[in-house]
Amino acid sequence: MLSVTIGCASPSTPDSTWSDEFLAAMRLPEVQAEPEVASLALRAPERDQARDARFELARFALRRGDIALADERFEALWSEGIDDHITSRALYESARIALEHHQNRQEAIALLHRAIAQTAPWAGTELALSFLIKIEREAGHQPTLIEDLSRIAAELENDRLKAQLHLSIGELHHADLQDDEGALKAYREAALSCESCSASDEALWRMAEIYSAHQNFNAATRTLGLVAERTDTSWFVGSYNSHRAADARFELGRIHLIYLEDYDEARDHFERFIDTFPHAMRRDQAEWHLVEIARLSASEAAYHRALRRFASNFPESRLADQARRRLEAL
């Protein structure tokens, strides 16, 4: 009995649940865990719980080298046609087996396509996408991969997953094919597919990088401005910021300072960076840029205040010694 093996309450007591037993079984050494999980799979009260247990049974078989049994168990899960995280993971694992153990590249790619085309971006979906990109890149099949991902994206209903696919297409155009026009088009699709998704923010950021590389700073600042504004603060839940919002605000300041020589705009962006992201890694750099703006603005009093503020606020910064030396020289 599992209760004897793991020293927990009897399954008949109210305190013991199937989930408790499953978690306890998964903590056992695998040679003991597998028969316990097999028993739990047969008496799971819910279909989803049974599928969780069956997935772990497939993984047990895979880890001990029984590839045929693992393949059979994974296929049994995804062939049921249920659109869930177990199907996505099972398709991914079956694809790995097809490629790595049976050298069947065509079947592996077909399975990965199925995993990616699910209605929601499950964990297995993202694993499948990453693995597909890896093996197709290694084979030099980027144009074919772009066509396949574009076709899948066109048929997707989930906006988040659609944005992720367009982001990946943009990366392939930019990094692999050196096709910035193709990259911009794909990134634009990603940004429009799901405006509240992290993939959209990342796509806008990468568009701005391309614009900056081509010295199209008007387009770069317009694009960065969209990302920089994606911040939200609530007294109840705190702050929720785009993962690129701080980078975008800092880059806006840098572009206005270095390339556009618009010191007022640069100052505004760096001050907003400091106020909005008080724990950002580059806060001292933003403050130092304010020092430089004060120096370039030819206001000795403002420059002196900026140096003192920097030396006081960032005594451990690598720029602190430079700030103190400048103060002594004034």
Residue-wise pLDDT tens digits, 50-92: 999 999 999 999 999 999 999 999 999 999 999 999 999 999 9
Strand partners, 79: none
Task: Tell me the angle at which helices 18-26 and 47-63 cross, rounded to the nearest 10 degrees.
Answer: 10
**201 backbone dihedrals φ, ψ, rounded to 5°:** -60, -45
* Amino acid letter, residue 89: R
Element holding 9 (H helix, E strand): none
What is the reported pLDDT for 291?
A: 95
Q: How far apart are CA 170 and CA 164, in angstroms?
A: 10
Q: In this predicted structure, what is the pLDDT of residue 237?
A: 45
pLDDT at 143: 98
pLDDT at 239: 55
Along the chain (330 residues), what's the average pLDDT of each consecutive run of 10 residues?
38 63 95 96 95 98 98 98 95 98 98 91 92 97 98 94 97 98 98 92 98 98 96 59 94 98 97 94 96 89 91 90 88
Sole residue written with tokens 């994606």: 230
The DSSP code sequence of 141-183 is -HHHHHHHHHHHHHH---HHHHHHHHHHHHHIIIIIT--HHHH
* Nearest partner of 43 among 74, 2, 6, judged by Cα: 2
Q: Where are the domains of the chain?
A: 141-214
Cα–Cα distance for residue pair 115/127, rounded to 1 Å: 9
* Residue 274 CA to its chain's centroid (Å): 25
Can you give the pLDDT at residue 1? 33
Residue 121: its pLDDT value, please?
A: 83
% of the chain with per-residue pLDDT over 70: 93
* pLDDT at 7 (0 to 100): 40
AA letter at 278:
P
How many Å is the Cα radius of gyration of the chain? 27
pLDDT, the chain, mean: 91
Q: What's the Cα-to-Cα distance from 322 to each of 191, 257, 291, rounded to whole Å?
A: 42, 20, 11
pLDDT of residue 3: 35
